[in-house]
Amino acid sequence: MNFDRRHLFGAFAGVATAGSAAPAFARETALPAREVVQRGSIDAATLGLRPDPVADQSKIFQRAIDTAAAARAVLHLGPGAYRAGGLVLPPHTAIMGVAGSTRIAMSGAPNVMTATGSDHVSLSGLLFDGDKIPLLEQRGLIHIAQGRAVRVIDCEIVNAGGNGLSLQAVEGEVAGNTISANDAAIFSLDAQALTISGNHVRDAGNNGILVWRSAAGDDGTLVVDNRIENVSNRSGGSGQYGNAINVFRANNVIVRGNRIRDAAFSAVRGNTASNLQVVGNTCTKLGEVALYAEFGFEGAVIANNIVDGAAMGVSVTNFNDGGRLAVVQGNLIRNLIDHRPPGTDPNDDAGIGIGVEADSMVSGNVIENAPHIGISVGAGQYLRDVAVSANIVRGANYGITVSVAPGAGGSLIANNLISGTRLGAIVGMVWKKPVTGDLTKEDTARYAQLSISGNRVR
């Protein structure tokens, strides 16, 4: 793994807030179902803001935002195209459009909308068009920092020349949006209590959804029921780009029920992310490791996922860097390929169903058509307390390999069904070199650290 994958980019730059104008008259109306509190509504046209696809309406738009926010009212935009840039969202901003019909096109730097320290910001039913104008690094077409009760609901973000939606230290909900972007679709840094759900991410240039922290710590973001497809790796590298979901330094994150298709590298990559749950995701057509728990993590549950097409199904790795403690259970993994994408370490393995190293249980998984190894246990001396039981492995060169290198710890391999292996059902390895025959047929007494029993070989 290259060094640069393990380091976080610089934190987002701060942005200025704007003052509020005097409140305008508001009539009572209901917000969308997700809003808890009923608020008044102001028609933007009564404040002079009307659709105009050509003229830059930033000043008029800003006055309308300030007026509605001061009145604690929803600014309602009718269908049509508006052009603006650099809009600042004060506390209690609520802007509602007609989904698919209210388009706000970026007119200039730094982005379309930004907020810093603004609580109770709500955007819904709006289509934001970045017009492919380049954005500053780590900035989003919509950028929100240090806000509570933030809601971005049922919006579209297209043609973002950087990140689509960037969030820093935000508590709230990002739900039901459709986003495409030149860099990452959604980038959350140092979240407080964030839910990212039901979004459709497509055609992301570098990453789909990023959940990062400036330093390792509790995060607790929920990334659930999203659809993520066509994630590229425009910036190259060995895996810091090209991922559908990347969790970095963020502990206690749940990644559940997502449909992930066609990512250049991983479906879910957890890096230094402790207590990570990756559960019930369907992942197809991945270029590298589909589901990753790597580097300095403690605790990962990778369960009940489907992986169809990847260089490796599941990797729980980097015991040398403190990565340990995992349950890998009930996954269906098949149709793996025997190579990784350009840019990765040429020594990295491919064609492996599941690889684990330390303090882990691997049980109840079904692995079919792994060209190299069904389940790989340990790497050199990096093996400690791994149990592999009740798995099915079909059609691999080696069904299960286990490290017997000097210094390797103990493992239990029991009651697995291994079918159609070409070079051996269970084989001892020193790094990548097979050094034993089939251990289901040989005496294993010389390897006191191994317990191998009850396996069925066909």
* DSSP-assigned letters across all residues of 287-346: SSEEEEEESS-EEEEEES-EEES-SEEEEE--GGGT-EEEEEES-EEE---S---TTS-T
Question: How would DSSP label each residue in 12-67?
Answer: PPP------------EEE---TT-SS-EEEEEGGGGT----SSS--HHHHHHHHHH
Cβ(225)–Cβ(257) under 8 Å?
yes
Q: What's the pLDDT score for residue 37?
A: 38
Q: What's the pLDDT score for residue 342?
A: 83
How far is residue 151's CA from residue 157's CA, in Å, rounded to a whole number? 15
> All domains of the chain, ordered by start, with CATH?
26-182 (2.160.20.10)
Q: What's the pLDDT score for residue 27?
A: 35
Cβ(330)–Cβ(304) under 8 Å?
yes
Q: What's the pLDDT score for residue 12?
A: 31
Alpha-carbon dihedral 331, 335, 339, 344, rounded to 10 degrees: -30
Pull the structure tokens for residue 146.
């240090």
Q: Structure pTM?
A: 0.91
How far is residue 228's CA from residue 212's CA, in Å, rounded to a whole number? 18
Cβ(262)–Cβ(293) under 8 Å?
no
| pLDDT, tens digit only, all 458 positions of the chain | 333 433 333 333 333 333 333 333 333 333 343 443 356 999 999 999 999 999 999 999 999 999 999 999 999 999 999 999 999 999 999 999 999 999 999 998 799 999 999 999 999 999 999 999 999 887 899 999 999 999 999 999 999 999 999 999 999 999 999 999 999 999 999 999 999 999 999 999 999 999 999 999 999 999 999 999 999 999 999 999 999 999 999 999 999 999 999 999 999 999 999 999 999 999 999 999 999 999 999 999 999 999 999 999 999 999 999 999 999 999 999 999 999 988 888 878 899 999 999 999 999 999 999 999 999 999 999 999 999 999 999 999 999 999 999 999 999 999 999 999 999 999 999 999 999 999 999 999 999 999 999 999 99
Q: What's the pLDDT score for residue 43?
A: 97
Buried b (16+ CB within 10 A) or exposed e, 127-150: bbbbbebebeebbbbbbbbbbbbb
Q: What's the pLDDT score for residue 15?
A: 31
How far is residue 450's CA from residue 427's CA, in Å, rounded to a whole number? 12
Q: What's the pLDDT score for residue 344?
A: 84
How far is residue 156's CA from residue 84's CA, in Å, rounded to a whole number? 16
Is 4 strand, coil or helix?
Answer: helix
Q: What's the pLDDT score for residue 149?
A: 98
Q: What's the pLDDT score for residue 10?
A: 37
Other CB atoms within 10 Å distance of the CB of residue 445? 7
